[in-house]
Amino acid sequence: MSSIRDDLARAHQAFTRPTLTLLRRPSGPLVVALLTCAFGGPGAARRIPAERFHAQVQGLLAELALHGHEVPDAPARELVRGWVREQWLSLTPVPDPDEGEDGEEYALTSHARDAMDHVSRVSGERVLLGESRIRTILDAARRCALEATPDRDRRVQRLEEQIAQLSAERDRLLAGGESPPASDERVLGQYLDLEDLLSALPGDFLRVSEEVRRIHREIVGDFRAEQRPSGEVLDDYLRRAAGILTESVSGRAFAGAVDLARDEDTLQALQSDLTTILEHGFAAGLSPEQRSALRRTLETIGEGVELVLEQRRRLSASLRSHILRHDPLRDRELDEALRAAADQLTQWMATTGPRATLDLDAPIPSARIAVTTMRTRLHDPADDASPPPLREHDDDAAEVSSLEELRRFGGPDFERLRAAIPSGAGTAEVFDDLPDDLRRPADLMGLLHLAVAVTGADPHTTTRQAVYTTTRPDGTVHRFLGPDLSLTAGGDA
């Protein structure tokens, strides 16, 4: 019998995971692009306030629609909430000191991070089999074998072999031997191996953070259920929190990152190595994003460690708050007092008539009930009276602005600008021929934006400059020095 049934079951299970669900969706490319734009850039925020993220997604969708891409008609808030339900984003309540109430923040889940990493890998330069990859495998196998060798003599022999190899290389260099620089192709292969390892770090940190969040929910649920003693729940939390760092690959990676973050000498050595790599000639062929990502390696590690530690701090704060506010002894006393009051009321109703009254100043029969004060101020309907009506202001009502007047102070008029593009060869010529109401500073920015988006012009490479004379709606004239971009495809090449 073959293993096809087990293989099919594993495949079905894998395809139900949120990562593959995202990649298989018809809207998957759009969602991955939006999440990458918001969370994937160098120095991008790990968490984004909910309202700001809704506005950002709405703006990105509008920009895509402007360039002719098909986008969903649903509001951004509805789309983002759907991503939360699909486990591509997490929504966390946070205190808002400005508003005096709790707010919400969005963050990537490990499933979305895995999908983004997969798209980045298949769309970028593929790491091919070569000397660098083979050497990486050999080094990893050698280290693993050294750690796994239980025989002390065998370990000593392996260490002596490594020492002999390093000593021979040192003696050769001290004797005047040549140290030829590595070729660009060789260093590039090693860099791609390093990049492949670094790209897995954010996903590992997110998985550890999500594991802490899952433990958080379960521990708080155990506290609220009150089915186990609080001490037992706390012991379970401490045991599981410690096991996170040892029971999974991601947890062990996090533990190693914490050790690295605490070792200043290792951090300085790593930073020096990264600087040396970027100073090699092959780095000229890297994109700005690749150089920035490599330069920010230490920051990436620090941010990942802080992400997990922040989640653990939230868990500890929730447990501390629950323990301080929850007093089982006081709850039991309150339950006993309520039951005693109900018993006394039942006895009193059995011996009195329907119109009998109870003297509140009389001593309460049960000594177990202690009431220090009674409510003396009752509800007054006058307190809920409606406020007086507002005074009419028809005489001094503000002048209503027309739609055209409001539009004059708005953004670029892209429809009219698009219609004017075929009339000239450059943005300076087209802008000079525009009517006065279409020569505002905002319209100048819109024309340059269309030149970049529609024709592929690059403001950084063009050598032509022009002075643009703009007119604001109030008649103020401003002049700007800027690039004269071509409005024909390949015109600036």
* DSSP string across 448-471: HHHHHHHH---TTT---EEEEEEE
CA 143, 272, 305 angle in degrees (round to 5)? 70
- Domain membership of residue 464 as a residue range: 411-483
Last residue of a domain, one of 295, 310, 325: 325
Rg (CA), the chain: 34
- What values do phi and psi take at 164, rounded to 5? -65, -40
Beta strands in 145-244 (DSSP E): none
- 31-58 per-residue burial string, b: 16 or more CB within 10 A, e: under 16: bbbbbbebbbeeeeebbbebeebbebbe
Last residue of a domain, one of 86, 107, 123: 123
Q: Is 107 helix (H, G, I), strand (E, B) or coil?
A: strand
- Give domain status of residue 54, yes or no: yes
CA 263 – CA 21 distance, rounded (Å): 40
For the chain, how many residues are written?
A: 493
Same domain, 207 and 315: yes
Asked whether residue 207 falls in the same domain as residue 309, the answer is yes
104 with 206, same domain: the answer is: no
CA–CA gap between residue 193 and residue 195 (Å, rounded): 5
Cα–Cα distance measured from residue 87 to residue 109, given in angstroms and rounded to the nearest whole number: 7
Q: Which of 134, 26, 31, 112 is nearest to 76 (CA)?
A: 31
At 79 the pLDDT is: 92
Question: What's residue 474's pLDDT?
Answer: 84
Whether 149 is covered by a domain: the verdict is: no
Structure tokens at 55: 């506005």
Query: Whose CA is closest to 137, among 74, 190, 175?
Result: 190
| Element housing 483 (H / E) | strand 477-483
Last residue of a domain, one of 325, 340, 355: 325
What element of type H or E holds 199?
helix 184-199
Is 117 a member of any domain? yes
Q: Is residue 332 included in any domain, yes or no?
A: no
Beta partners for residue 108, in sequence order: 89
Number of domains in the chain: 3
Q: For residues 260 and 266, is the Cβ–Cβ distance under 8 A?
A: yes
Distance between terminal CA atoms of the chain? 63
- Whether 384 is in a domain gets the answer no
What pLDDT does 204 receive? 78
Inside any domain, residue 446: yes
Q: Are 93 and 104 in contact (CB under 8 A)?
A: yes
d(CA 438, CA 402): 18
User: 461 near 492, Cβ under 8 Å?
Assistant: yes
For residue 477, give the 3-state DSSP assignment: strand
Query: CA 191, CA 282: separation in Å to the nearest integer?
Result: 10
Position 306 in a domain:
yes
Residues 315, 428 within the same domain: no
CATH number at residue 40: 1.10.10
Is residue 177 a part of any domain in this protein? no
Each residue's pLDDT, cut to its tens digit, for the chain (493 residues) gives 667 888 788 888 878 888 888 888 888 899 999 998 888 766 677 788 989 999 999 999 988 888 888 888 889 999 999 999 998 898 887 765 555 456 788 988 888 888 888 888 777 655 555 556 677 777 777 777 777 777 788 888 888 888 998 898 888 888 887 777 777 777 877 777 788 778 777 777 888 888 778 877 777 777 766 666 767 777 777 777 777 666 666 667 677 777 777 788 888 888 888 888 888 888 888 888 888 888 888 888 888 788 888 878 877 777 777 767 766 666 666 777 788 888 888 887 777 777 777 666 655 554 455 556 656 667 777 777 788 888 776 666 667 777 777 777 888 888 888 887 765 578 888 888 888 888 899 988 888 888 888 777 778 778 888 899 998 888 889 899 888 888 776 555 4
Residue 117 and residue 28 share a domain: yes
